Amino acid sequence: MKNKIISWIFLSITLLGAYAISIFDGYNLFFLLFLILNTGFIGYFAPKIDKTVLSVSRILVGVLFVYSGIVKGVDPLGTQFKIEDYFYAYGMDWAAPYALILSVLLNAVEFSMGALLLLRVKTKYISVLSLIMMLLFTITTLYDALYSPVPDCGCFGDALIISNWQTFYKNLIINALVILLFVRRKDFSVYKSKVLEYSALLGIVFGFIFFESYNINNLPMIDFRSWKVDSRLLPANPEPIKYYLTYKNKKSGDTKEYISKELPWQDSVFMADWKWLSSREIDPNISDMNTFPMIGEDGADHSKEIVSYEGNTYIFIIYNVEKVEDKPAKYIKSFIDNAMQVGHRVVMLNSDLPVDYQSFIKENNIADIKVYNSDDTALKAAIRSNPGLIVVRDGEVVAKYHHNNFPDISKLKNK
């Protein structure tokens, strides 16, 4: 009875700590000590933990690994970009070309470990692997928490973004459960059929790799990012823009600023004594706009103008012209030629240097098109395809296409 009470106290404290992570998004010494003591507690009492709590812990770790694997596996390119950030931060630029392969493998390993824990397949070995993996992740996330080489670890992809300290706290919580599984690994039952075990193992691993491959060669099945289909890029009911005018007194040199609607323009004395000096505008909707800078040749940001068009705006996004293959390049040329004939609005967003994208346009004989410069991180977040096509209408994303699935031009013309 005593062991059962201790067991459920441990589980309750661990779950309480997991909830508290949402409260402590930065360094907190008392919370950190609490988590360390909880880990030490389970390290000491693990041999006495009740089997029911042991099973619940196995399920919790399994569900967490499965969830984390899925939300990253649905977007392996996003995990690739995050791994590249780590490589660059640690001065390992040479490893960046291998980031996608590493992304696919890490996601598959994480998901498979979770699924195998839930199915109780090779639990003894998965417990050892989980402990090794979590120790490596804990060391990495401690460094992240202390020095912030990257903004967030991407542990849950774009589905759930938490701070570096929260990530470290999260790993300490998982460590407590994983240590329990490791210490009690011999208590888990095993399947009598080796064929069944290995069939499940291979089916899960290769099935998930196939799932990731699909998401790489198409758009992610689930889009967690802000430019997903049906998302609003502008407020549905925007507030009016406020215009301010500054006037200077011709005699005294004093200046006054007026809201445009309050300007005494009908006062002939005022208009005779004061002259316009400058104007400015304040858009109260800026904070609610879900866009990123789209800089034109004039150096101005045209993002609001581009996404607020009432009709369809076809936006080709290219964040690296050197990696655009011939087939999608020819499609872009044909699309733009057809669009211009029927008056469709087409723009291009690019993050390369002007000399590079201008060379790309010239080499592919692409008709005159407005090209706007944006940050490559923003473009990669908007669509996981290089090139990709996004259709925006009246401030809303209505369609997105991977270059492997570009739509039939004739059908778009009919629309």
State the total domains in the chain. 3
Residue-averaged pLDDT of the chain = 89
Domain end call among 226, 253, 282: 282
**pLDDT tens digit sequence for 228-276:** 999 888 876 667 777 888 889 988 888 888 888 888 877 888 888 888 8
| H or E, element range at 24 | none
pLDDT band at 188 (very low <50, low <70, confident <90, very high): confident
Does 410 have pLDDT greater than 80?
A: no
Cα–Cα dist 38/175, whole Å: 10
Same-domain status, 276 and 315: no
Does 337 have pLDDT greater than 60?
A: yes
| H or E, element range at 68 | helix 51-73
> What's this model's pTM, rounded to 2 decimal places?
0.84
Return the pLDDT at 287. Answer: 58
Cα–Cα dist 164/162, whole Å: 7
Stretch 208-226: mean pLDDT: 94
Stretch 75-91: mean pLDDT: 92
Return the pLDDT at 156. Answer: 84
Return the pLDDT at 413. Answer: 59
Same-domain status, 53 and 93: yes
Same-domain status, 271 and 140: no
**CA dihedral defined by 49, 51, 53, 57, rounded to 10 degrees?**
100
Same-domain status, 157 and 263: no
pLDDT band at 30 (very low <50, low <70, confident <90, very high): very high
- Asked, for residue 290, whether it belongs to a domain, the answer is no
Same-domain status, 40 and 142: yes
Q: Which domain covers residue 322, as residue numbers?
A: 303-414
Return the pLDDT at 71. Answer: 94
Is-contact 295 372, C-beta < 8 A?
yes
